[in-house]
Chains A and B, each alone.
Chain A
Amino acid sequence: MANTLKLEIVTPEAKTYSEDVEMVTLPGTEGELGIYPMHVPLMTQIVAGELCVLKDGQQHFFAVGEGFAEITGGRVAVLTDMAVNSDDIDEAKAEEARKRAEARQQEKLSEEEMATVTASLVHSLTQLEVKRRHRKS
């Protein structure tokens, strides 16, 4: 039992992922964090980036947004505003979203709108980055 972690990735839209995995790598604010089973209880903030999962000897990648991660021995709970499996990323769509967000950034916006636009820009940039990295390899 002790050699797997229960990983849960939840976004406001849905519960994206909930599986037993061997290892998780999180994009923490202070750099990448590798989490193995029986890790010390840890609460951390994560930034937009790549989340790597090792399950049954295979690596899976996710593009995640900002959020929080809670690690308690056998469980990793990731709360984030975005989580997309790298296989599901549509590069053309993400690219389009990036362009749209950048165009919007040039307009005069209120503080609230600006925050929304910046968030969506970060989302599409992260998706693109993750996708591109894994296409080459």
Chain B
Amino acid sequence: MASTRDLRRRIKSIKNTAQITKAMQMVAASKMRKAQQSALAGRPYAALMNSVLAEVTFHAGDFTHPLLETREIRKRGVILISTDRGLCGALNSNLMREALKFDKDTTVYVAAGRKAAQFVSRTKRQLAAEFSYKDTPLFGEARAISKFAQELFLTGQVDHVDVLYTNFISILSQRPEVRSLLPVGEIKGVVAGVGGEDRFTELFKGATEFLFEPGADQVLGNLLPHYLNFQVYQFLLEAKASEQSARMVAMKNATDNALQLIKDLTLEYNKMRQASITKELLEIATAQMALG
């Protein structure tokens, strides 16, 4: 049985841990609020962009663009958006479980975040590139990732690009999701709402044709890359919001557990202390009786 000194030591060390987790929880909570705000603020733009693009490609007639081209899928690219650091509950393991579902030989991974890169190299899969993004993702970072993906696609190294990220649903629930990014042609008609539930937008059918100014190819040529950049940016924001909320919840649980443990141990410690005092008193009393 543990001595009182051992118990005291344990209580002290758990107290320290609880302090650390509590601090991390506070940090994550304040970062979460920011990340959540920017993720939610970006949604209307992303949604409108989606519907605009769906309508435009629907009405653009026989217009083709390299980014719209659908090819037979021989090689698949996956942009894996994970966190940089751990201690965020089951977030990354859920994400990696999804990532394992892709075929090992025909899939090339593009990692965003350190955990994703570690995962890809650990499972000995093909890693095309590794990107990092900050606590508050910048549009430039998203542009770099999306540009890389577009190049892979345009040069024919991959025939399809998916994004695997954690969608922010609420503070308590984040779900790993796969969305196809390229070719853009596949979003025709059906619009996947970024974040939250899938949305089907009603296409504007009033006119048979859209006017384009300056020209269809020019407008779409600019719109498509911008759309992809923004899409990736929104994915990063959602992933960040998920990460911070998951971390906050994980740290809150850790703090609660530590406090519970301290309570139990303190009770045990007090019992033990009392027992030893009683024992000592008994001994003194017995000794006195024997003498007297």
Contact = CB atoms under 8 A, between A and B. Distances in A.
Given A10-B44, A14-B41, A43 B49 contact: no
Nearest to B140: A112
Contact of B222 (A10, A30, A45): A45
A97 interface: no
A11 interface: yes
B56 A30 contact: no
Nearest to A18: B44
A30 B211 CA distance: 14
A41 B44 contact: no
Interface string A15-57: 1000000000000111001000000111111000000000000
A106 B219 CA distance: 32
Nearest to A40: B211
A10 B52 CA distance: 12
Contact of A70 (B52, B140, B144, B222): B52
A76 B100 CA distance: 43
A45 B49 contact: no
Contacts of A79: 45, 48-49, 52
Interface secondary structure of B, over-half rule: helix
Contacts of B209: 41
Contacts of A72: 55, 204, 206-207
B198 interface: no
A96 interface: no
Given A12-B139, A112-B144, A43 B219 contact: yes
A89 to B, nearest CB: 20
A112 B56 CA distance: 29
Contact of A13 (B41, B52, B219, B222): B41
Nearest to A75: B204
Interface in B194-234: 204, 206-207, 209-214, 216, 218-219, 222-223, 226, 230, 233
By Cβ-Cβ distance, the 10 closest A-B pairs, closest first, are: A44-B213, A42-B211, A41-B207, A15-B44, A70-B52, A10-B45, A41-B210, A72-B204, A112-B140, A12-B45
19 contacts: A10-B48, A12-B45, A13-B41, A13-B42, A30-B214, A33-B213, A41-B204, A41-B209, A41-B211, A42-B211, A43-B56, A43-B213, A45-B219, A45-B223, A70-B56, A72-B207, A73-B207, A79-B52, A112-B140
Interface of A: 8, 10-15, 28-30, 33, 40-45, 68, 70, 72-73, 77, 79, 112-113, 115-116
Given A10-B48, A12-B230, A41-B210, 12 more contacts: A8-B48, A10-B44, A12-B42, A43-B56, A68-B219, A68-B223, A70-B55, A70-B56, A72-B204, A73-B207, A77-B48, A112-B144
